Chain A
Amino acid sequence: MTKKTIVRVTDVTKDFDLGKIVVEVLKGIDLEIETGKYVSIMGPSGSGKSTLFNMIGGLDKPTTGKVFIDEVDIAQLDAYELAWLRCRKIGYIFQTFNLIPVMTALENVTLPMTFAGVPSETAVEKGMDLLKKVGLEGRHAHKPSELSGGQQQRVAVARALANSPSIILADEPTGNLDLKTGEEIISLLKDMSDDQGVTVISATHDYKMLNVSDQVIWIRDGRVDKVQERDELEINTGGMSS
């Protein structure tokens, strides 16, 4: 089977102009992420991990270099195409869950489908199905404020999957959750990745993520420090625990 690349980052740099000084956050990053992989981007705070992550998600544009999603250079897309990309190709999961507080769990899940032009009934049906998959059957009418952190993140996972995207981008998805709930969310993401062939890219400090990752990209000081495949990783994590 030929390996297909879904995300390709070539020589990306990003500077932030802070008036008097220009901070170089990314200093030339080259990456290729294969379809269907569960990839973790690891790195200390301030390493440029989140910036890289935002570039991959089409939320921010690089100063130089190119980001390709499905071999499309996202710098070439206009506002409509970019919105379409965010709506159909990418599912976002945030550290702070970011559910729309005035909407119920089901409405949160169906919102991206509404944007995608899915008829209301189909959207509700799929939304209920997704909520069931993430283990929230019967909670569809609850507002985010009536759900626990873990449950909110489950709704967010269901929402990210709504338009069957090719990529799920998760920014510290377990950052605001306790150990056990975090593990549940990680295994949920892993199952979704295995079942539906979605590429999961997650920025994290959470070492629990390592166990499920197919590939770990270590970012240090604006550069790719190393890329480890799953088999190399097990030796390493074993090494750490000893």
Chain B
Amino acid sequence: MARLVVLPFTKSIEIAYKSLQARFFRSLVTTLTLVLAVSFLTFSQVNINIADSLLASGDPDMCHMLMRCGYDIMPGDTSLAASPKQRWIVILSLLVCVVGIINAQLMSVTERFREIGTMKCLGALDRFIVRLFVMEATIQGLAGAVSGAIFGGVVAIISALFRFGPESLGNLPWPEIATSLATATLTGIALSLAGVLYPAVIAARMQPVEAMRVEQ
């Protein structure tokens, strides 16, 4: 007889989803960190996409407007890149976001020590526990990253409307914007997963005997 314990994939999604639902407010706060970081990333990327397309249009008025708005354009430039300072700010914001997620997930692990111990007493393997936490983080990551990307993109387009005027919206670079949104979404999911790994390993290593401890 095969002495194996199992946790089917669909069942782990179901458990992870219910767990998030039950701690809705807490998960919302964690997700919000991600929404903010991802929308900031998207905002700066889409801004560059729009400015790039204005520059590529070759219209001298547009170039003037870009310079007025603070872009350094040298004669002959065909595309704009984020300045090193901008890049650093984005990277820092993403780092702060990961640290925030690690913190929130560690709290969630501590809060669920007994629950994890109980699952282990019922026969859960270490990897079931890791999987549950990773699933939760993926759902949170997906929700946070998608809404963050959409939010950041919309804000970038609205800000372009005010900075460069309505005509700038005439030929928005949709393929580039879509690429920026997709990249930001993937980055968001990756951040969420990076944030959960350490807490999930801590949870998985917990000894089932913890579940027997009486103090709450």
Tell me the A residues contacting B by CB distance below 8 Å: 50, 54, 57, 59-60, 79-81, 83-84, 86-88, 92, 94-96, 98-103, 111-112, 114-117, 159, 171, 175
Contacts and interface: CB of A to CB of B under 8 A. Distances in A.
Contacts of B216: 96
B6 A59 contact: no
Interface string B116-129: 01111111111010
B209 A54 contact: yes
Contacts of A60: 207, 209
Contact of B211 (A50, A98, A117): A98
Nearest to B3: A84
A171 B121 contact: no
B7 interface: yes
Interface residues of B, number: 33
Contacts of A88: 3, 123
Contacts, number: 91
A159 B122 CA distance: 9
Main secondary structure of the interface of B (DSSP, over half): helix
Nearest to B19: A102
Interface of B: 3-8, 11, 15, 18-19, 21-23, 114-115, 117-126, 128, 207-209, 211-212, 214, 216
A93 B119 CA distance: 12
Contact of B5 (A54, A100, A102, A116): A116
A103 B7 contact: no
Contacts of B115: 98, 100-101
B123 A116 contact: yes
Nearest to B18: A102
A54 B117 CA distance: 13
A80 B4 contact: yes
A94 B207 CA distance: 15
B7 A115 contact: yes
B212 to A, nearest CB: 6
Given A59-B212, A83-B120, 8 more contacts: A59-B209, A80-B3, A80-B4, A80-B125, A92-B121, A94-B212, A102-B21, A117-B6
